[in-house]
Amino acid sequence: MMKSKKNPKIDLNKDSAMFFVAGLTLILLLTYIALEWKSYDTIDYNLEGMNLTDELIEEVPLTIHFTPPPPPPAVTPDIIEIVKDDNPIEDIIIESTESNEYKEIYEVKDVVYEEIEEDIPIPISVVEIVPIFPGCEQEKDKRACFNRMILKHVKKTFRYPEISQKMGIQGKVYMNFVIQKDGSIGEVKIARSPDKNLGAEATRIINELPRMIPGEQAGNPVRVPFSIPIAFKLR
């Protein structure tokens, strides 16, 4: 019978756990050192070939300041000549604007008044005597007769502009005019018009109004303004 070569007194697995921990610790230590290891390149700086003196010294430009010489002393003339002024200086007297109780007050005896006649137009609605249209002299209500004759005159002299008819333009033209003191028609103006051709026709109609008997206010002839709309309507 063969004898076992293994010594029963020696147990190889007894310290295996300790050796395992020691080996693991050593491996971790070597790994940490390998990761944290830093190396630097060595550069040989040759300072002998560098001239630091030339680089640090900066030439400062030389500035020369010139001081101007002092001005010469003033020369005092030996003889002082007096020049006569041919233009005498006039004294300006400023009179006081305050009242003086000792100053004599002159009595005004005659005062001439000049009356300035104000030529103010008086509307036909408030004038005492309205302008009389020819043919209304015998009418009792001359104001109504005036309005009626104005409309009759417009219808009689009315002509629709051909160009406005072709363009289909229609509307009302508002005209202003003044019956002067001599009964003539003046200051004819277009207050509002939808078209220049319609305005020109309305102006022609008003300018052809006959001379009238002027309106009166306080027994004197006055200017009476009047406004009238003239309608242009296509059928």
Do residues 159 and 210 make contact, with C-beta atoms less than 8 angstroms apart? no
pLDDT at position 39 over 70:
no
Question: Residue 120: what pLDDT?
Answer: 80
- 3-class DSSP state for residue 40? coil
pLDDT-derived band at 235, boundaries 50, 70, 90: confident
Residue 197 covered by a domain: yes
pLDDT at position 116 over 80:
no
Query: What does the alpha-carbon distance between residue 154 and residue 148 come to, in Å, rounded to a whole number?
Result: 10
**Radius of gyration (C-alpha) of the chain in whole angstroms:** 63
Residue 154, CA distances (Å) to 18, 40, 111, 187, 202 in order: 137, 118, 53, 18, 9
Question: Residue 176: what pLDDT?
Answer: 92
Residue 177 covered by a domain: yes
**For 119-133, what is the mean pLDDT?**
83
Residues near 55 by beta carbon (within 8 Å), at least 6 away in sequence:
none
Mean pLDDT, the chain, integer: 77
Point out the least confidently predicted range of 11-25, 44-58, 98-112, 200-214: 44-58
Q: Where is pLDDT greater, at 212 or 12?
A: 212
Residue 147, CA distances (Å) to 9, 24, 134, 173, 194 in order: 157, 131, 12, 17, 24
Q: What is the DSSP letter of 37?
A: -
Q: Where is pLDDT greater, at 53 or 120?
A: 120
Question: Residue 136: what pLDDT?
Answer: 87
Residue 102 covered by a domain: no
pLDDT at position 56 over 50:
no
Q: What is the domain extent for residue 198?
A: 142-232
pLDDT at position 106 over 70:
no
Residue 1 covered by a domain: no
Do residues 179 and 131 make contact, with C-beta atoms less than 8 angstroms apart? yes
Residue 27 covered by a domain: no
pLDDT at position 218 over 90:
no
Domains of the chain: total: 1
Residues near 214 by beta carbon (within 8 Å), at least 6 away in sequence:
131, 179, 180, 181, 182, 183, 221, 222, 224
Residue 207 covered by a domain: yes
CATH code, domain with 225: 3.30.2420.10
Residue 193 covered by a domain: yes
**For 53-69, what is the mean pLDDT?**
55
Residue 90 covered by a domain: no
pLDDT at position 37 over 70:
yes
pLDDT at position 207 over 90:
yes
Nearest by Cα to 204 from 171, 160, 169 = 160
Q: Where is pLDDT greater, at 108 or 165?
A: 165
Report the share of the chain in percent with pLDDT over 70.
Answer: 63
Query: What does the alpha-carbon distance between residue 111 and residue 62 come to, in Å, rounded to a whole number?
Result: 95
